[in-house]
Amino acid sequence: MNMFSENKNFWENAINSRRSVRSYKRMPVSPETMVKIKSFDSEIAIPFSHSVRIEYFKTREGKQLANHLKKPPEDAVAFITDTSNILNITAVGFVGELALLYAQGLGVSNCWFGHYILDEIEQIVPNIDILKQSNRPRVGYGKGNVNGIHAVCISPLGYFEPDGMRLLDRFASTVMSFKRKSLNELFTDNISETSLPDSLKFAFDMARKAPSAGNTQHWRFKVSTDFKTIDIVKIKGYTHFKWEHCDVDIGICAAHFWIGLSMQNINCELNQVLEDDSVTWRFKLL
């Protein structure tokens, strides 16, 4: 047994109920809940070595955190790493999503933001490097391999405020939020959903529900003929005109798949394989 199989309903509900929330009440996360969220981060055994730092911080009232987050809640979290290495970038997705799903399960809404307001985040998040004047974007930490320790993404943490929803938020939450590709659209080879063992189908279903920037779902699933090796990869050559760090999303999807396996007590060896300039998340089922 593990923490996911012992609390299968908690994790399944967290995955099925999570939606990006961009409108919040201006109040803190309850102190007891915050203690739980922070201790989860220190207790969870991430199945690979990584150097992602999770930093919880307080926001400033009236200060915008992102284009679509004009009035942030009091609490937020940043996912920080050395951004010169693509393996760190994709690990941010995996580690961050576990933390955000746990918060979701405790009733704390959140939303990944890659395009946070850089000036504001650099002022309020401790122990990150300040980008040099010459390569400063307005939002996010920059394009490509940026040297230094930066927040790859942030997320607000708080309670939904329906009255604060603007037209765009309503559009995003009703049109983009719920739409996910079917499993059959996500396999790279001639695999169909019906040929899979139920246990794998379940884990893939958890994976396909992962969030991605702009809901692009640019992950694909490769399954070996004996169903023992599963690769989660970015579509070959994929880039997005707006979101520069689309390997984060692949890490998020891998986290959902790993939770799906763990909920069923399926053990695996998990490796990130660097091929050309792309990372494959390789699961070898044991």
Applying CB under 6 A, does 248 fall inside the site for ligand FMN?
Answer: yes
**Closest CB 208 distance from ligand FMN, rounded Å:** 11
59, 90, 110, 212: which one contacts ligand FMN (CB under 6 A)? Answer: 212
**Closest CB 213 distance from ligand FMN, rounded Å:** 4
Applying CB under 6 A, does 85 fall inside the site for ligand FMN?
Answer: no
What are the φ/ψ torsions at residue 6 (nearest 5 degrees)? Answer: -70, -30
Among the residue ranges 29-37, 119-127, 194-202, 212-220, the one whose residues contact ligand FMN (CB under 6 A)? 212-220
CA distance linking residue 228 with residue 225, whole number of Å: 8
Residues in CB range of 46: below 8 A, 6 or more apart: 94, 95, 98
Instruction: Tell me the two tokens of residue 207.
Output: 């994976």
Long-range contacts of residues 138-142, Cβ cutoff 8 Å, at least 24 apart: 139/66, 139/67, 139/115, 140/114, 140/115, 140/116, 140/244, 140/245, 141/83, 142/83, 142/244
Residues from 24 through 63 that contact ligand FMN (CB under 6 A):
none
3-state secondary structure of 181: coil
Residue 27 vs 176, nearer CB to ligand FMN: 176
**Closest CB 234 distance from ligand FMN, rounded Å:** 13
Applying CB under 6 A, does 260 fall inside the site for ligand FMN?
Answer: no
37, 52, 65, 66: which one contacts ligand FMN (CB under 6 A)? Answer: 66
Applying CB under 6 A, does 214 fall inside the site for ligand FMN?
Answer: yes
3-state secondary structure of 113: strand
CA 85 vs. chain centroid, Å, equals 18
Residue 25 vs 68, nearer CB to ligand FMN: 68
Interface positions with ligand FMN (CB under 6 A): 19-20, 22, 66, 68, 111-115, 153, 172, 176-177, 211-215, 248-249, 252
